[in-house]
Structure 1
Amino acid sequence: SALKKRLMELHNQSERAARAMNTVKTNQSQTVETASRKKDLIRSEFSEIKALIEEKENYTLKVIADEEKRVCNKFDYVYGILGSKKKEIQSLKDQIEMALTEGDDVLFLKRAAALQQMSAKDAFVPVIEMDQNLIQSTYQSAVNLKDIVKLSVTQSKEARAEEHTHKEKTLYQAQDTLRVEADTKEKKKPVKAAPATGTPNAAAAVSTKELIDSFLKKSREELLQYAANITLDYNTAHNKVILSERYTRMSVSDTPLNYNHHPQRFTDCSQVLGFQCFKRGIHYWEVELQQNSFCGIGICYGSMERQGPESRLGRNSSSWCIEWFNSKISSWHNDVEKCLPNVKATKIGVLLHCEGGFVIFMAVGEKHNLIYKFKTQFTEALYPAFWLFSSGTVLSLCQVKQ
C-alpha cells in the first residue's frame, strides 16, 4: 500500500517533469522565433540606414560632379574661344606672308597699309575654378555624418540600454496601432457583401478614417507618449532666419545673416527644417506661435527644392502645411490652397503617422482641436518644416518629451 502510494507519487512527479520539459522546449522554440523575428527587424533597420547613407553619398557626389561639370563646361567654352583666336592670328600671319611675296610695289603698299591696321588681341584666359566653399561644405557634410554615426555607434552602455528600452516602447506603440488597424478591418469585413464599397481602397480608407478618429479622441497626455523633441537644422536656415535658444526658436532678421553656403540651405524662401527626420512610427510635436500673422508649420521630404518658387512650403508635391496669412488660415499642398476656419489657439500640435499615411494639425487646448488633416502614402523620410515671413514672426518648438 505504501509502495503503491509511492509509485503514484513518482508517476505524478514524472508527469510533472515531462510537462516541465515540454514547457522548456516550447519556451526555447519561442525564444528562437522571437530572436529570429528581432534579427529580421534589425536587418531591415540596418538596410534602411545603409540606404539613407547611400542616398546621402550619391547626393553628395552629385553636388561635386555637377560643380565639376559646370567648371569643365567653362573650360570647354574658353578653349573654343582660344581656338578661334588662334585661327584669327594664323590667318593674319598668312596674309602678311603673302603680302611680303607681292611683286607689284603699288599693290604691296596697299596691302601693307591695310595689314598695318589689322591687329589680333592677345589670348586671355579668365580665372575659372570650382566653388571652394561648396566643395568644402559638401565634404564637411560627409565628415559630419560620419562623426554622427561614429558617436552613435560608440555611445556608452547605459545610453544603449536606455535606447533599447525606448525602441521597445516604440515597437509596442506600433503594435498597438497595428492592432487598432486590424480591429477596424475585422469590423468592416461584413461590408464585403455590398459590391460598390467592397474594394480594398474603400476598406483602407475606412480603416485610415477610424485610425485618425482614434487619435483625435486622444487626450494631450496620451499624445505626449509619441512626443519627439525637435531642434532646427542650421544648414537649412534661410539667410534671414535667426535661430536661438539652442536651435528651438526661430525669428526673422531685417538684414541678411551671411550664413555659410550649404546645398541644403533655402535661398529664396525664409524657411528652416527640423534636424530630425521620420521614416516610420508615430511622432508628435508642438509649436508655439508667439507672433502668428505670417507663418507656416508643416512637413516636407528632404528632397524638396531649396531654391525658386518650388521651394515654398506647400507649393509643391513634397510638402504639406498650415499657413497663417494676416487673419486668414489655409492648408497648402501641391500648390492647392484650402481656406480654414479661424483658430484662437497659439500652440499647434502636429501628429505624424508614417505607416498610417496621415498628418494632423491640432489646436492644443481647444475642445474641438482639429485644424486640418492630410492623408497620403508617404514615400520618403519627413522633416518638420517652418516658414516665417514678416520681421515680427516668432515660432518656438516646445520641448514636450515626458
Structure 2
Amino acid sequence: MLSEKSTATVRATLPAVGAAIGDITELFYGKLFAAHPELIRDLFNRGNQNAGLQKQALAGSIAAFATHLVEHPDVRPDVMLNRIAHKHASLGVTREQYPIVHQHLFEAIAEILGEAVTPEVAEAWDEVYWLMANALITIEERLYAEQQVLAGDVWRDWTVAARVEETADCTTFHLTLADGSPAPGFKPGQYVSVQVELPDGARQIRQYSLSSAPGSPVRSITVKRVHGPAASGPDGEVSNHLHAEVRTGDTLRISAPYGDLVLRDSAAPVILASAGIGCTPMLSMLEHLADTAHTAPVTVLHADRSPADHALRTDHRALTGKLPDASAHFWYEADAEPGDHAGRLDLTAVPVPPGTQAYLCGPLPFMRAAREQLIAKGVAPADIAYEVFGPDLWLASA
C-alpha cells in the first residue's frame, strides 16, 4: 500500500508523468542499453525494442500500476503483476536486476521532467517503483520455487526429436530433454522461452506456447516464420533461424514453462478461440480436455487466412472429435471449404452455454472482437482469459 503522503504526491503528478512516460521510457532504454549492452544482446527482445512495443508496454504498466495504487489503495493489481512475473521468470530475471532498472529509470525521469522532480516527488515515485518491483520479485521467486529451480536458473538443453512442416510457414518441433530425464510438468496453455545464438553472437530469446498436452511424452512448440521486411530484421530473427537452421537431432536451450493463461480445473463449458498461430495454446488445452474426458460442452473457434494457412488444422478437428460434446467452427478469409465459414469470426449462430469459460489467443483486434461478442452472448468478463504473443499492450492500456 502506498503511504498517504506519497499517494497525494503521485495523484498530483500522475498527469505530468503519464504525459511524459513515453519519452521517459525511450530515454530509459537508451541509458540502460548504453550501460549494459549485454541486456539488449542476450535478454531483451530486439524485435520488440525495434518496433517500440516494449517501450509502450513498460510505459503503460508503470502508469497503470501507479493509477491503481491511487484509485484502489487496498487492492493489488495481481492480474498485471502475475502476467509480467511469468514473462520475467521465463527469461530468468532475478532480484539483482531491479536496482539496475531503478537507476536508469529514475535518471530518465529526472532528465525528462527536470525541476518538477522535487525530492518529495522523487520519494513518492521511488515508493511506487519499489512497491511494484518487490511485488514482482516475490511472485517470480515463488514461480522459480514451484519449478524447483534456483532464481533465474531456468535453462536446460533439449533435443529436437522430430520436425514437422505443418504449413508453408509453420513448423512444429517435438522436443525431449537432452539428458534423457523426464520433462517437467506444465499447465495447458503455458509457454517456454527459446534461446538461440544468432550469427552476430547475440543470444536472443522468444516465447512459444507449448502445443502439446502435459500428458504427452514429448514437448512440442509450433513456430510461424516471419515474412516481409521484418524477416530480415530483429522481428523475425529467431523464428526464421529456427526454420532455416534447426533440424532433427539438434539441441535447443529452453526455459522452464511459465504463463498465466492456463486451463482451469473445472467442469464448466469451455470455449477455445484463436486466430493464426494463436491456436497453439488452444491445442494444448484441447488435448488436455480430451485426455481427461471433459464432459461439459467444448466449443472450438478458429479464424485464419485460409485452410492451407491453418497450422495444426487436422489436430484441431481430431481432438475436437475425441470429446463427447464438442464442436469446431473455422472461419477463413479465402478458400473456405464446405462446413467452414467464409470471412471473419462471427458468433451470431454459435450457441454459448451458460457458465462458459472462454480462452482467447491471437492478434489484439481479433481478441477484442471475440471478447465483445462473447460478452454480448452472456459470458461473464471474469470468465474470459487471453494470451498475447509479445508485450501485453492490451493489459497495460486497460
Q: TM-score range by the shorter chain?
A: under 0.3
Between 1 and 2, higher relative CO (CA 8 Å, sep ≥ 6) is seen in 2
TM-score norm. by structure 2 comes to 0.24
Please tell me whether Structure 1 or Structure 2 has the larger radius of gyration of its CA atoms: 1
